[in-house]
Amino acid sequence: MSLERPSTAVTGASGAGADAAVAADLLGDRTRARARTHLARTAGLAAALGVLVACALLSIAVGAKAIPVATVWDALWSYDGSYDHSVVRELRLPRTVLGIFVGAALGLAGALMQALTRNPLAEPGILGVNSGAAAAVVVAIFVFGLATPAQYLWFSFIGAGLTALLVYSLGSRGRTGATPVRLALAGTAVAAVLQGFVHSIILLDDFVFDRIRFWQVGSLVGRDLDIFVQVWPFLMAGVVIALLLGPALNTIALGEDLAAALGARINRTRAVTALAIILLCGAATAAAGPIWFVGLIVPHIARTLTGPDQRWLLPYSAVLAAILLTGADTLGRIVLPNGELEVGIITALVGAPVFIALVRRKKMARI
């Protein structure tokens, strides 16, 4: 008997050592897998930024008069006052810069809405937020005679916030609560009413019509650097707040009870997220008008690349939305032989089929 006990002890010790080795191997595999995922996402984001730079250069080069990329580069860094350089610096560069920031703002706003409401159909246009901001801007122009984004920007913020509250209130009524389809229907109905209100004012007042006839459909035409200067602090504030919300939104995605147990401040996160959405939608709408579907399409594309991790989903959404909007704006300049389509029309033509496909899903994926 005394001879068997050492053998048993040795066997137990070797078994424990084997378990520890297996655990260490599993931990090492997980660490390496996370490192590979992190590297792949970083590389993907860098590639997307490269595509965005290429789209920006193409946006500056393409128009009624094609300008070689070499000339574009010279105009950006060695301005000589020539006609081509003036076109680049005074017309196309401001339009492209504004398109990048407005696109990023709409993409981030859509991603934040979908994360906060757990609604795959959430988007500033579909939920009526952009229409609310646009209606408030029209009131500012019609009633108070305001003429610049710096003057009616605060109306845009107020309109976006009030409309978001109204849509959520309408969509959450009833026993089923705020389901994705109910919110989408409420947002679409409110947006239709607001659009009717805007059109009635446009028909009654020539001054308002002249001010917003292109702005109303979502446009970057005729935007100069003054408009960008007026809205960029709010756009940048919204972008920074949105990107910092990734970890908190990841925690909330675990469920309210578990998030509270982990120490998450749920109400504060919701309030800050709502503030970011209002800043992004209000500033983007004041600068370029109500543009639909960018915030719907892009987060779904980004989610296929990054998964549900908001720390990566948000920056991907910003970059991909900027690519989409600058690309749509460039396409709108060349699709017609003697004119151009506004960027809001292009995004609607692309986004409407995506929206219909999402609604027709028998079982929409839970975000």
What is the C-alpha separation between 152 and 150, in angstroms, rounded?
Answer: 6
Contacts 24+ apart (CB under 8 A), 204-208: 205/142, 207/141, 208/138, 208/141, 208/142
Nearest Cα to Cα of residue 309 among 26, 31, 28, 38: 38
- CA separation (Å) from 25 to 30, 36, 37, 39, 71? 9, 16, 18, 21, 57
Residue 76's pLDDT is what?
A: 87
Identify the residue with better confidence: 326 or 20.
Answer: 326
- Residues 70-118: tens digit of each pLDDT: 898 899 888 888 899 999 988 899 999 999 999 999 999 999 999 988 8
- The answer, yes or no, to whether residue 18 has pLDDT greater than 80, is no
- The answer, yes or no, to whether residue 151 has pLDDT greater than 80, is yes
CB-CB neighbours of 365 under 10 Å: 10
Residue 306's pLDDT is what?
A: 93
Average pLDDT over residues 127-140: 91
CATH class of 97-359: mainly alpha
- The answer, yes or no, to whether residue 1 has pLDDT greater than 60, is no
- Residues 203-246: tens digit of each pLDDT: 888 777 777 776 777 888 878 888 888 999 999 999 999 999 99
Average pLDDT over residues 134-143: 90
Q: Where are the domains of the chain?
A: 97-359
Average pLDDT over residues 307-324: 96
Residue 362's pLDDT is what?
A: 46
What single-letter amino acid sits at 237? A
What is the C-alpha separation between 329 and 341, in angstroms, rounded?
Answer: 8
DSSP 190-211: HHHHHHHHHHHHHHH-HHHHHH
- CB-count burial class (<10 Å; 0-12, 13-18, 19+) for 99: buried
pLDDT band at 22 (very low <50, low <70, confident <90, very high): low
DSSP 302-346: HHHHHTT-HHHHHHHHHHHHHHHHHHHHHHHHHSSTTS---HHHH
pLDDT band at 248 (very low <50, low <70, confident <90, very high): very high
The shares of helix, strand and coil residues in the chain, as percent rounded to the nearest 5, are 80, 0, 20
> Per residue in 239-264, is it b (16+ CB within 10 Å) or e — as a string?
bebbeebbebbbbbbeeeeebeeeeb
Residue 365's pLDDT is what?
A: 44
Least confident stretch, 137-141, 197-201, 245-249, 252-256: 252-256
Residue 21's pLDDT is what?
A: 61
Residue 309's pLDDT is what?
A: 93
Q: Report how far Cα 74 is from the mean position of its chain's Cα atoms.
A: 32
Residue 355's pLDDT is what?
A: 80
- Residues 26-82: tens digit of each pLDDT: 566 667 777 788 899 999 999 999 999 999 999 999 887 888 888 988 998 888 888
Identify the residue with better confidence: 358 or 290.
Answer: 290
Identify the residue with better confidence: 83 or 338.
Answer: 83
Maximum distance among all alpha carbons in the chain? Answer: 106
Residue 33's pLDDT is what?
A: 72
Average pLDDT over residues 165-193: 82
Residue 3's pLDDT is what?
A: 46
Q: pTM here?
A: 0.86
Average pLDDT over residues 183-199: 89
Residue 172's pLDDT is what?
A: 78
